Amino acid sequence: MYTLAVETSCDDTSAAVVENGTRVLSNIISSQVKDHRRFGGVVPEIASRKHLENTPLVIKAAMEEARLEFRELETIAVTYGPGLVGALLVGLSTAKAMAYALDIPLVGVNHILGHLYAAFIDHDGLEPPLVALVVSGGHTTLVHMQDHGQFRVLGRTRDDAAGEAFDKVARAIGLGYPGGPPVENMARSGNPQAFSFPRSWLEEGSLDFSFSGLKTAVVNNYQRSLQKGEPVHIPDLTASFQQAVVEVLMEKTFAAVRLAGAKRLVLAGGVAANGCLRRCIAGRGLEEGVEVYVPEPVYCTDNAAMIGCASYYQYCRGDRATLSLNAVPGLTL
């Protein structure tokens, strides 16, 4: 079954063709990073306008790369939330128009679930039950997936998402946007023990997260040094910040795995592209006898292939959206 998937929830315009959920025939991503960089973050109005320009182009490119005609498609999948409302509406309107014109079913996908399902691409053996940590610029969520379609949220962030903390720290210390990759690069040559930044564990047993105190501690430390005219060792600062984020994510994730009695763990979302997090979680998985599944980096950050994958499992359970499907910016699991 061939699915055309469309993803426009934030600042990446993406279209993919996916066969039977997990075989990706094409996955075209048009990044808007250069359009937003000088503003230090995503400007919603610019994002919507760029999606309008780029959506037809990425769809055309995805169909060409997959060597398919539109009439060979069997379903259209689209992200309908969470995300920026104007951005979501561009992909949603396009997908609805295509489903109507081609007279094929439309499936609406929750972006957070899309991130989780990215782990099913190229991992044939992966099956629920499992625990997933979905960690991106907008979300830090621990999910117990009992079966396809059966999800229980075990914890989520109470303030900044982990990726948001990377982005805000990077902006404050002049590393630009998005912050994850340059912070990771800097941290490679730094000492993660150089600064003892706070780890927020919250109440005993809580699987929720809080990263805003850590972010503020890093930014204050940097600004204090500047005011005193002292040099700041950016590699040490970023390595210590990254270490604090990774430690909290890892401890809470394995606490969730124990609580759920899970034997499989999925790490997904943009921050899952972080090499330090990937290595630490994989190492701990080995120690604790838990199978760890992490998508390829290209399927960690926003992409339409993950939306096509999630939609397939929804479609198989009979999930169909009507043409009245609307964007839901604050959609949760």
What residue ranges in 138-284 does DSSP mark as E strands? 140-147, 150-156, 264-268
Minimum distance, C-beta of residue 17 to ligand KG4, in the bound complex (Å): 20
What part of residues 118-157 is at the interface with ligand KG4 (CB under 6 A)?
136-138
Per-residue b or e along 114-137, where b marks 16 or more CB atoms closer than 10 Å to that residue's CB: bbbbbbbbebeebebebbbbbbbb
Helix (H) or strand (E) holding 77: strand 75-81
Cβ within 8 Å of residue 220, ≥6 positions away: none
Q: If 0-12 CB within 10 Å is exposed, 13-18 middle and 19+ buried, where does residue 65 land?
A: middle
Determine the interface stretch with Zn ion among 72-80, 121-129, 278-286, 294-302 (rule: CB under 5 A).
294-302
What part of residues 159-198 is at the interface with ligand KG4 (CB under 6 A)?
163-164, 166-167, 178-181, 184
Nearest 5°: phi and psi at 192? -70, -10
Cα distance between residue 230 and residue 240, in whole Å: 18
Residue 163 interacting entry, from Zn ion, ligand KG4, none, C-beta within 5 to 8 Å by type: ligand KG4
C-alpha closest to that of 307 among 77, 75, 30: 77
Q: Does residue 107 sit in helix, strand or coil?
A: strand
- Based on the shown chain and the rule CB under 6 A, indicate whether residue 274 belongs to the binding site for ligand KG4: yes
- Based on the shown chain and the rule CB under 6 A, indicate whether residue 7 belongs to the binding site for ligand KG4: no
What part of residues 81-120 is at the interface with Zn ion (CB under 5 A)?
none
Determine the interface stretch with ligand KG4 among 44-52, 62-70, 86-94, 158-166 (rule: CB under 6 A).
158-166
C-alpha closest to that of 234 among 183, 200, 158: 183
Q: Which is nearer to Zn ion, 10 or 246 (CB)?
A: 10
Minimum distance, C-beta of residue 70 to ligand KG4, in the bound complex (Å): 28
Residue 254 interacting entry, from Zn ion, ligand KG4, none, C-beta within 5 to 8 Å by type: none
Residue 11 interacting entry, from Zn ion, ligand KG4, none, C-beta within 5 to 8 Å by type: none
- Based on the shown chain and the rule CB under 6 A, indicate whether residue 10 belongs to the binding site for ligand KG4: yes
Nearest 10 degrees: Cα torsion 101, 55, 14, 88: -80
Q: Which is nearer to ligand KG4, 10 or 255 (CB)?
A: 10
Tokens of 162: 């982990």
Q: If 0-12 CB within 10 Å is exposed, 13-18 middle and 19+ buried, where does residue 66 land?
A: buried
- Based on the shown chain and the rule CB under 6 A, indicate whether residue 269 belongs to the binding site for ligand KG4: yes
- Based on the shown chain and the rule CB under 6 A, indicate whether residue 314 belongs to the binding site for ligand KG4: no
Residue 2 interacting entry, from ligand KG4, Zn ion, none, C-beta within 5 to 8 Å by type: none
Minimum distance, C-beta of residue 111 to Zn ion, in the bound complex (Å): 6
What part of residues 28-57 is at the interface with ligand KG4 (CB under 6 A)?
none
Contact residues: ligand KG4, CB under 6 A: 10, 136-138, 163-164, 166-167, 178-181, 184, 269-271, 273-274, 301-302
